[in-house]
Amino acid sequence: MDIAKTKFDDNNNCMYYLEKSLNFLFILVIFELIPFNVSQAQVLISATDLKESQSAEGKTVKSLPANTTVKLIKREGFWVEIEAAGSKGWVKLSTINMGSQSPGLNPMDTGRAGKGNIVSTSAARGLSAKDLTLAKPDPAQFAELQKLSISAADADKFAKSGGLTTRQIALLAAGPKSADQAKPKAQPSGNKKPKKTDDDDDDD
């Protein structure tokens, strides 16, 4: 434990520069990746209106038929900006078949600067399945973890100080997609819209 602290203090300066240069390298790598990500073409699952903005009520730029090839530009919330049939606009993320691809990332969001020393020590381990099996249980650490627990009231105060407002939202039932993923394709889901395809017991 102390090793981490002294490392942090003694090597502060040298680590800072090392980190800076690593960050620079990292940004280079990201920029290499983006054109690749974006150029990956995806297709529309169903016919969809291309919207001017991220809203179903927004102006329609163009109506796109199912299976239209689209280029992903960026995702924001549950909407994706795309280029399709010579036009740019927004569609809901759920209308695109991503395959094994996630939408391209926004390079602005990837700043991991400054966290290096604070979230790792030189003693860090990998935590593989093998590590877990070989580990000796550590009840003393469990006791330390319990001490970190804070009161519900303190958390409330913290949330309010951050301007967070709670919302009443019901839990969601499984969609047809996750049911497909969970089981080896039993049958094509077709166009029926299952209101409740929950395969698990939701009774608690």
Partner 1 sequence: MKVFYFFIVGLVLSFSNFAQDAAINIGGTNLSIKPETLAEELSAGKLVTSQLMGTAKLLPNPRLQNYVNLVGRHIANQTERKDLPWSFGVIDSTAVNAFAAPGGYILLTSALIQLLDTEDELASVLAHEIAHVIRKHHYRVIRKQQMLEFGMNAVEIEGADNVKKLSGMVAQILARGLDKSAEYEADRDGMVYAARAGYDASSMLRIMEKLSEATAKDEATQLLISTHPSPAARQSALSAVVNADIEKAGVKSSASARFSLIFEK
Per CB under 8 A, which of residues 58..87 are in contact with partner 1? 75-78
Under the binding rule (CB under 8 A), the answer on residue 129 touching partner 1 is yes
Selected range binding partner 1 among 17-25, 60-68, 82-90, 119-127, rule: CB under 8 A: 119-127
Closer residue to partner 1 in complex, CB, 86/170 = 170
Angle, alpha carbons 19-22-28 (nearest 5°): 145
Applying CB under 8 A, which of residues 86, 124, 185, 191 lies at the interface with partner 1? 124
Under the binding rule (CB under 8 A), the answer on residue 109 touching partner 1 is yes
The b/e string for 1-28 (b: 16+ C-beta within 10 A; e otherwise) is: eeeeeebeeeeeeeeeeebeeebeeeee
Q: What is the largest CA-CA distance in the chain?
A: 64
Applying CB under 8 A, which of residues 4, 15, 38, 43 lies at the interface with partner 1? 4
Per CB under 8 A, which of residues 141..170 are in contact with partner 1? 141-142, 144-146, 148-152, 154-156, 158-159, 162-170
Contacts of 19 (CB under 8 A, 6+ apart): 113, 114, 116
